[in-house]
Amino acid sequence: MVLGSLQHKGIPRPSTNDFYIAKDKPPGYCCGIPSIFGIRPSDASLYYSAANGDDGSGGQLPSDETIIMVALNDASKLGLDPAKLVLESFYTHFADAGTDDKQSGKICGRGVFFSRQLDGINFFSADNAGDGAEGLSLEMGSYGQIRSFSLRWSEMHRYENHTSASPADMIACIKAHITMVLPHDGEEDYFPRLKKLAGVKKLTITKLTPYYGEGIFGESPTNDAPAKFAFPFAELEAVADFGNSNCPVQLISPILASEVRRLLGR
């Protein structure tokens, strides 16, 4: 806070307003200006991205062990409960082509995502960097430079207890096309793949993993408003059999009996 001169900007005085620091751009810059630092009280989130974070790193990148150590040290400084953090994934950030072909494909940094846990259940993220998920993500470049970090940690209280859905309930959701098919990272042929899956002969569920996610299953908050509830759901790993070939597929399904009844209109 001191090094960033944020005290002169009214931080860390408590505020309910969103706060951003934009990346420096020349006058008359025609495109949207990204922010390199942001605090969103309504979303319980805090993030930082180095101004040169999308450039390739030079020199040797820190080891996974070093990245973990730094992330956990930062977590303690931010007052997070280590008992509610679990190592979810590592990720590598590659430079985008953009307007500089010399940077394309170079490694910007290596990162780690620690997911938040509730009763031993992780929060779900669609990518290895923890985008939009409850928890802590940190990326480091060469010479130990912090390239980026993000924290999302909402205040939560128990609200209701619900019965889990039965296997028959979840099968009914699959047949009713209520479950969601997860796209692969960077997948360009997602919709053609969905069309192909319509012709599957048999679907075999090989693994079920419960997760928490913010918001009600199948509904999106309006006007960028933060979700009021965290609901559990299931990630289903399956094998789609087309008769003469098969392929793996990941599905997202409701896992509460009450959600199944709501979605199926029972």
- pLDDT tens figures, 58-100: 778 899 999 999 999 999 888 888 889 999 999 998 887 554 5
Using alpha carbons, select from 19, 3, 7, 137 the residue that is nearest to residue 75.
137
What is the DSSP annotation of 141-188? -GGG-EEEEEEE----------PBPPHHHHHHHHHTT-SEEPPPTT-S
Task: Read off the pLDDT of residues 116-159 as tens digits, 9 standing for 90 and up.
Answer: 999 899 999 988 999 889 999 999 998 888 999 999 999 889 99
118 versus 266: the higher-pLDDT residue is 118
Residue corresponding to tokens 């938040």: 116
| 146 and 105 co-located in one domain | yes
| 171 and 254 co-located in one domain | yes
pLDDT band at 225 (very low <50, low <70, confident <90, very high): confident
- The yes-or-no verdict on residue 203 having pLDDT over 70 is yes
| 34 and 97 co-located in one domain | no
Which of 118, 152, 186 finishes a domain? 152
Q: Is residue 109 part of a domain?
A: yes
Q: Is residue 157 part of a domain?
A: no
Predicted local confidence at residue 103, as pLDDT: 59
| 105 and 31 co-located in one domain | no
- Please give the residue range of the domain that contains residue 38: 1-43
Predicted local confidence at residue 99, as pLDDT: 46
Query: pTM for this structure?
Result: 0.81
Residue corresponding to tokens 């495109």: 31
Using alpha carbons, select from 9, 3, 13 the residue that is nearest to residue 21.
9
| 202 and 242 co-located in one domain | yes
- Rounded CA separation 203/180 (Å): 14
- Domain count for the chain: 3
| 71 and 126 co-located in one domain | yes
